[in-house]
Structure 1
Amino acid sequence: MRPGVRPVLLLDLAAAGAAVAAVVLAAGLPLAARGALTPRALALVVVAGACAGVALGAALLFRAVARPVDRLLEAAERLGAGAHAEALPLLAPTGEPAASAGRGVAGAAVAFERLAGALVEERLRLAEKVAELERANGALVDARESLVRAERLATAGQLASGIAHEVGNPLGAISGYAELARARLRDGRPAALAQAAEFAERIAAETARIDRLVRDLLDLARPSAPEVRSVNVRGPLDAALRLARAQARFRAVDVTEAIPEDLPAVLADEQRLAQVLLNLLLNAGDATGGAGAVRVSAREDGPAVELAVEDGGPGFAAADLAHVFEPFFTTKPAGEGTGLGLAICRGIVEALGGEIRAGNAPGGGARVVLRLRRAPRDGAAG
């Protein structure tokens, strides 16, 4: 019997013994008064009655109270300790099947044990479901990363032809400057040598231009794990603009920028943020037919920084706004868009802890806003 139950039962037994002794005494006093019982015999009868009451009460209390309460406490302890369902007994206190336990404390004990067993089984099922969900979530993360890599490679492939054309121009300029520099060096006069030095600087500038373009393209296509750190948005924006302007479909687009000099850094992955901005810029250029105006602006908004890309195109149709970030949804003609660009942009931005939303600018045209977490003030910008 549990220590916590014993004192209560002892008090109950004492009360039962006292009650029986009182009844026997009340019944025996008239007999003793008439001389039918001696005082000694009366005392023995009272004591015997009290003992019988205690014994009967003990049997009844153990059967009806003590054992069921013990089982309730044991089941509760096992349930709290996470015991398996098969460890919880489901028999009535007297050993008969649970179905015949009836009502009262005994029935409550069996009912509680059943409930405890069901809860343990449910806990095990829940643990299995949580494990399944964790595995599914891991698979979804892997699938999303695969889509991001695939979109980056697809974008890099689409940009390659434009980059090749863009690299061809500075290569032609380099060849021409090199020939002019050779001629001036052969001349040998001070003025000619000064011109040769100027041509060498132009060659260096054109080479740096090629290097930036190729490096931006490689950074875009290179597979890498996300690295969230403090990033100055100017870096990924400039990289995205260089790659966009290398495309024939974007060369006639007039891009204006409104980026404050004191704009705080954001918490982001620089390459992936550049991928998002490049996608938004190319979409904006396509919306204007390759010859319109695109505006990129940024502002600090409390604990976040907002980047907005607006175009002078027709904007989003009201019916499309609820679907623009859904995979495979596109308003472009067949064969000109996969419908994955904006969906992947949303996945990247949300993985960075930010938000992305689409709408229409007050003056017309589409407007896509990135809301990114502001980096700590003492963080070093990337």
Structure 2
Amino acid sequence: MGRSGTPRPDSSELLAGQPEGVGEGAWIDVIQKMDEVYSDLLQYEVALEEKNAKLEESQGFILSVLTSISDILVVCDRSGRIEEVNRSLEDFCGRPLAELRGTPFVALLADPQAAVLVQEMFGLRAGAAVHDLELALRAADGSAVPVSLNCTPRYSSVGKSQGVVITGRPVGELRKAYSALRQAHEDLKRTQQQLLHSEKMASLGRLVAGVAHELNNPISFVLGNTHALRRYAGRLAEYLNAVHGGVQGEALDDLRHQLRIDRILADLDSLIEGTVEGAERTRDIVDGLKRFSALDREENAPFDLAGVIQRSVTWVCKAAPERFAVELQLPPGLVVLGSPGQMQQVVMNLVQNACDASAGQAAPALHIRGEVQGGDVVLRFHDNGPGIESQHLAHIFDPFFTTKPVGRGTGLGLSISYGIVERHGGQLLAGNHVAGGAEFVLRLPLAPSTGKPLAA
């Protein structure tokens, strides 16, 4: 008996019943051919059983996938009638597949007038693909639920159109997800702005003492000149009263000599000029503070980078220990394009970091050297501290990364500086100098010559 239950013929019986006139050799050939055919039949039967097993496995896999899909799925024929749905659609409309199979897809719509739109937009007859079409479907509780639908044509193995596959998701879920994503994005942007401003305010707070010293000189100068002018005003008033009172001759000359009117007149110009100079110096310092503490603005003006560096070094050194020394080697013509306030924040951060890093040395120092290379300004900030450990070099510009003790640093200074330099079209690199200590290299493109006045 074979695998299919068909009895295999006995060759001896066939030879015994051979007809007259037929040779035994011819009959043996017939028997051999029959054996070959029977062997092929068995092989085909085995292969068919294996393919049936694989087909059942594939069908089971496809069924498990369709059952697990959370989005609704509908398979329609060329006329728009439902052939297959997944469990999500059954749960959505409250109807089993046996009831849905063979019904038109438009029967699922909550608005019958949308049937024409489905025929045109979904291409149930034309076979065109449609994406993100919002239609209301009738839910299990009878309510109309808006659903975002996508339609894709399906073809046979020979390319013949067989209908479409429609997938969709209730718009309410999408809107909730988009709303949550948008809110998270807004919260992230707001938090980022707060962190940026907090870091700037932290830097500004560290410099208050230095700026106070910087303001003390011009304010003291103005105050001293004002007191002198007040004394001179009293003497001039006394002399003018004598003149208007009729005092003349030698008595008036004696009073003029006693009140030193000639000396007052000679001294007035220098007092007024000094007072104006002190007031202007105070105004410049306050303007610099306002530019530094203001929120970032999209400035794009040429400015002298050397002036920004000198001002930054002055402010940091005023608040730093007296033994911290900064050596500057800056050539003329370091004009770049951008925001002087933002670039001052970068330079102050680099100088402050160098001051902190070299604090443990006997003579803490920072050497700032500038040069022009091609169309770029290159600044090197080399301190005599212990340098940057190799495992930290790859993370030195990462947000919130800091090697300072808790409460001494936010870990945002270098990260913010890196972003500012990138927005200015430059580069900020960190490494260790061959002579010891850390070295930061700031590269910025030179501003094109426009003839416009430089920003302060």
C-alpha displacement of 1:152: 1.6
Instruction: Determine which of 319, 333, 336 is the counterpart of 1:262.
Output: 333
By relative contact order (CA 8 Å, sep 6+), the higher-ranking structure is 1
State the alpha-carbon separation in 2 of the partners of residues 86 and 145 from structure 1: 39
Unmatched tracts of structure 1, length 5 or more:
1-70, 93-101, 122-128
Distance 1:172 1:351, change over 3 A: same
- The whole-number CA distance in structure 2 between the counterparts of 1:257 and 1:313 is 18
Deviation for aligned residue 1:273: 0.8
Cα distance in structure 2, aligned partners of 1:299 and 1:278: 19
Is it true that 1:204 corresponds to 2:276 in the alignment? yes
Letter paired with 1:283: N
| Distance (Å, rounded) in 1 between the aligned partners of 2:152 and 2:364 | 78
Give the SS at the match of 2:439.
strand
- Secondary structure in 2 aligned to 1:261? coil
Paired with 1:308 and 1:238, the residues of 2 have a C-alpha distance of 14
Aligned counterpart, 2:414: 342
Per the TM alignment, residue 168 of structure 1 is displaced from its structure 2 partner at its CA by: 3.3
1:216–1:243 contact (8 Å) kept in structure 2: no
Quote how far apart the aligned CAs of 1:357 are.
1.3
1:333 matched to 2:333? The reply is no
| 1:297 partnered with 2:297 | no
CA distance in 1, matches of 2:324, 2:221: 24
Match of 1:277 in 2: 347
Correspondence 1:209-220 to 2 at 5 A: 209-220=281-292
- The 5-angstrom pairing of residues 135-150 of structure 1 reads 140-150=188-198
CA distances 1:75-98 after superposition (whole Å, capped 9, x unpaired): 5x647x999996746576xxxxxx
CA distance in 1, matches of 2:225, 2:211: 21
- Judge conservation of contact 1:354–1:372 (CA < 8 Å) in 2: yes
Specify whether residues 137 and 229 from structure 1 end up closer, same or farther in structure 2 by C-alpha distance, changes over 3 A only: farther
Q: Say if 1:377 and 1:174 are closer, same or farther in 2 by CA, change over 3 A.
A: closer
**By how many angstroms is 1:140 displaced?**
5.0
One-letter amino acid of the structure 2 residue matched with residue 274 of structure 1: Q
Alpha-carbon distance in 2 for matches of 1:146, 1:351 = 19
Aligned length: 292
Partner SS, residue 279 of structure 2: helix
Residue of structure 2 equivalent to 1:35: none
The corresponding residue for 2:68 is none
Equivalent-residue separation in structure 2 for 1:86 and 1:217 (angstroms)? 57
For 1:1-382, list aligned pairs within 5 A: 75=127, 78=129, 88=151, 90=153, 103-106=157-160, 109-110=161-162, 140-180=188-228, 186=235, 187-191=259-263, 193-247=265-319, 249=320, 251-266=322-337, 268-289=338-359, 292-378=364-450, 380=452, 381-382=454-455
**Paired residue secondary structure (2:393):** coil
Deviations 1:137-160 (A, max 9, x none): 776555433322221222222322
8 Å contact from structure 1 (residues 181, 197) kept in 2: no
Three-state SS of the structure 2 residue aligned to 1:371 is strand
- What residue identity is the alignment partner of 2:288? D
Counterpart CA distance in 2 for 1:89 and 1:171 is 78
Alpha-carbon deviation of 1:347?
Answer: 2.2
- Cα 1:345/1:104, change in 2 over 3 Å: same
1:276 is displaced (CA, Å) by: 1.0
Distance 1:354 1:133 in 2: 33
Q: Taking structure 1 as the reference length, what is the TM-score of the superposition?
A: 0.61
- Could you tell me the percent identity over the aligned residues? 29
Distance 2:179 2:199 in 1: 30
SS of 2:448's equivalent in the other structure is coil
Distance 1:279 1:304 in 2: 21
Say if 1:170 and 1:147 are closer, same or farther in 2 by CA, change over 3 A. Answer: same
Q: Deviations over 1:18-49 (max 9, x none)?
A: xxxxxxxxxxxxxxxxxxxxxxxxxxxxxxxx
Distance 1:78 1:281, change over 3 A: same
Partner letter of residue 150 of structure 1?
S
1:214-253 CA-to-partner distances (Å, cap 9, x unmatched) read: 2222221122433233333134324323422332x15543
Amino acid at match of 1:293: A
Instruction: Give the structure with higher Rg (CA).
Output: 2
Aligned-pair distance for 1:176?
3.4
Q: Quote the offset at 1:278 in angstroms.
A: 1.2
Counterpart secondary structure, 1:298: strand
The residue type equivalent to 1:254 in the other structure is A
Instruction: Write the letter of the residue equivalent to 2:340.
Output: E
TM-score normalised per structure 2? 0.52
Cα deviation per residue 1:348-367 (whole Å; 9 max; x = unaligned)?
22233332111122322221
Greater helix share, structure number: 1
CA contact (8 A) 2:355 2:366 kept: yes
Whether the aligned pair in 2 keeps the contact of 1:147 and 1:344 (CA below 8 Å) is no
Shift of 1:281: 1.4
Structure 1 contact 250–282 (Cα < 8 Å) conserved: no
Amino acid aligned to 1:305 = V
The alpha-carbon distance between structure 1 residues 281 and 78, as it changes in their structure 2 partners (threshold 3 A), is: same
Q: Could you tell me how far apart the structure 1 residues matched to 2:150 and 2:216 are? A: 78
Aligned to 2:31: none
